[in-house]
Amino acid sequence: MDRKCIYCGKVKDLSESDIIPDALTNARILNKNVCRIEHNNKFSDMFESKVINALSFITNKLDIKSSKGKNYAAYNATITIDGSEYNLSLHGNNNIFNGRVLKSSDKTQMLSSYEKMVKISKDESKVHPVDVNHLEIEKRVPINYEIFYSQSMYRMISKIAFEWYCAQNSVIGYHQEFDNIISFITTGKGENPVSIIQESELYMYLTKQVDLGSHTLFAFESHEEINVVISLFGLLMYRVVVSKIKPKFCSKNFLFTELRTDSSREKIEHDSLETAEAYFSDLIKRIPSIKHCEIEFMISTEPNPRLLLYPFIFDMIKCFKNIQNDAKAPNENLNNILRKQLETIIQTFTLHKKSIKRFVKDIFVEGHSPIQLNPHTNDKNSILLFYVVYLVGSSNINKLNDNIFQNLLREHLSLYKSEELVVTNEITSQFKKKILENDNYPDILEKGAHIIKQWNN
């Protein structure tokens, strides 16, 4: 069947639309039935770019980068150095000095290399040398809470829900069943199909079941409506009414997708909740069992991860169907949920190959000076990553692979779930102390960085 745009029905100049903007995910999903200019490229200027820019700190934190660019998105931060504030634009782990000239917010201080400052001031007496490794440095990143409740976010979430549902059902061309959501996405007018789940227990349940920073999408039929619930990074759950009546041409109305930050994904699709439950029941029946003392025990030599995933999805969708108190605008309850979910992402660090290799590439650049850790730094994530490099350098490992790396982390960091670690002041103080107690730590860091750079090279 010929391809046609799902927004307008055009058959010419179609493109592959990133259902979730490429800059917001490492696990791309596409809809091939979107016209290139009007209903793909223009959406970026209309609403997507505003959301992408506002969430740049989150994507940096989760090691998410657009496949179309070389650098991670820049985010704004306020750095306090020796009592003076500096407003900077940062790209992840790069050294905040990095050869640049820092100007304090009140315009009274400048900070850079001694040679550069002498050249700028033209008077060496006005330049005072300082050792940045003994300055107390604090970094603060402002979070734009308003973006989560903005028209741009609602339009982007609607676009994700609509294009994903259509892609899962192989929808081709324009259909009037989607009139309202199409109008809202393309013009911002009409009835807003988006509301926000505000049951805090559901957020706690979701956080325990999916990977840190994942996007999760659920589609289901509720009172003849087709609903899609989207959890963006695990921060807020948005419910989208894709259609107020069940489209007769869409057979798959029980859908689940998890898109993880490591590019992996999980996908489940069925016609309905009833067929999904029947499939799950059949899975259970296929598990070998033995009888002992009249008690039957289920055993399985190769556990199927979907045995745990299906009950979770069933629970979530049944809760979504029963909830009647969605919010359309921010309130104290939603703000509390958002703050707690943000705190979980900020304080929890997922250690994997991509994050550690990115850190080493940013910090251990060619020709760099020996690393001297600042004993006053409060950058918990950087301390953790330096400690991982230190562990690699101080081990007997000469070559890394995924298995060796994960065993090293489990041995020294006591990681249990998906290599996630809650980064607290107490634990990072211990890591920093262990590194600084070794007078030879700069050489050990260099050795660790070299091994990590060669990982799979």
Q: Where are the alpha helices (DSSP H) in 55-113?
A: 56-61
pLDDT for the residue numbered 300: 42
Tokens (6 digits) for 282? 């059949």
pLDDT for residue 301 is more than 50? no
Q: Which long-range contacts (CB under 8 A, 24 or more apart) does 367-371 make?
A: 370/442, 370/446, 371/442, 371/445, 371/446
- pLDDT score at 92: 66
Say which range, 32-46, 75-89, 94-108, 233-247, has the weakest mean pLDDT: 94-108
The model's confidence at residue 289, banded by pLDDT at 50, 70 and 90, is low
pLDDT exceeds 90 at position 422: no
pLDDT digits (tens, 9 = 90+) for 11-44: 999 999 999 999 999 999 999 999 999 999 999 9
Average pLDDT, the chain: 87
Q: How confident is the model at residue 419 (pLDDT cuts 50, 70, 90)?
A: low
Task: Name the percent of the chain lying above pLDDT 90.
Answer: 56
What is the per-residue pLDDT for 291?
A: 46
User: 95-110, pLDDT tens digit by residue?
Assistant: 676 667 888 888 888 8
**More confident: 204 or 103:** 204
- Structure token digits, residue 346: 């900020």
**Alpha-carbon span 349 to 380, nearest angstrom:** 10
Of the two residues 300 and 256, the one the predictor is more confident about is 256
Distance of alpha carbon 181 from alpha carbon 145, whole angstroms = 24
Backbone angles phi, psi at 241, to 5 degrees: -85, 100
What pLDDT digit, counting tens, does each position of 357-381 carry? Answer: 888 988 888 888 788 888 877 778 8
Q: pLDDT tens-digit profile of 124-160?
A: 777 777 766 666 777 788 888 999 999 999 999 999 9
State yes or no: pLDDT of 440 exceeds 90.
Answer: yes
Q: Round to whole Å and give the CA distance between 340 and 344.
A: 6
Distances (CA, A) of 390 to 101, 265, 294, 372, 457: 30, 31, 55, 13, 20
